[in-house]
């Protein structure tokens, strides 16, 4: 069993990490996504994002696979969710680092992305992404 702590490397059974909308790591194993439910001194406990599923994975504190996640989930995998998360993360990182317009970054990343047709169809538009990243302007009362 080969293991590594690099966040984008395949560790075991197609196991790697992506970031949530809040910047927290999400574990991806065999196209199923898990969130960290608990951390101890020696282990991290991951649970499937689908609440009714109940499948879990355990890793050590260095994110090396220990066990779990090999039984059948109560739902099919969602590769489109993972593809969208990865592409959005690339767009977000570039928008923060570069002075290039958001529309141009979006177009370039969408052209370079290797998403399937379902993921492309449900991927948000550049307007929807920019709108969700901006903080709302507070409304003040007028006299």
Sequential pLDDT tens for the chain (143 residues): 344 443 333 344 678 999 888 889 999 998 899 999 999 999 999 999 998 998 999 999 999 999 888 778 889 888 888 888 888 888 888 888 988 888 888 888 888 887 777 777 777 777 776 666 655 556 666 65
The ranges assigned to domains in the chain are: 15-68, 79-133
pLDDT at 11: 42
* Helical spans, DSSP H, in 5-137: 79-97, 102-112, 117-122, 126-133
pLDDT at 138: 61
Query: 30: which 2 tokens?
Result: 């065999």
> Are the CB atoms for 66 and 51 separated by under 8 Å?
no
pLDDT at 36: 95
> Are the CB atoms for 59 and 46 separated by under 8 Å?
yes
Give pTM, 2 decimals.
0.68
3-state SS record for 30-67: CCEEEEEEEECCCEEEEEECCCCCCCEEEEECCCCEEE
Nearest to 33 by CA among 142, 114, 100, 21: 21
pLDDT at 3: 41
> Are the CB atoms for 50 and 73 separated by under 8 Å?
yes
């Amino acid at each position: 069993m080969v293991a590594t702590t690099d966040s984008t490397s395949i560790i075991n059974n197609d196991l790697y990490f992506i970031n949530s909308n809040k910047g927290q790591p999400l574990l991806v194993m065999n196209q199923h996504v898990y969130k960290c439910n608990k951390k101890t001194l020696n282990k991290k406990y991951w649970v499937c994002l689908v609440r009714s599923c109940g499948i879990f994975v355990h890793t050590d504190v260095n994110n090396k696979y220990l066990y779990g996640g090999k039984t059948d989930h109560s739902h099919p995998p969602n590769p489109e969710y993972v593809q969208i998360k990865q592409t959005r993360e690339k767009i977000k990182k570039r928008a923060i680092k570069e002075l290039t317009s958001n529309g141009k970054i979006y177009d370039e990343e969408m052209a370079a992305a290797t998403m399937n047709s379902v993921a492309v169809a449900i991927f948000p538009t550049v307007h929807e992404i920019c709108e969700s990243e901006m903080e709302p302007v507070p409304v003040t009362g007028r006299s």
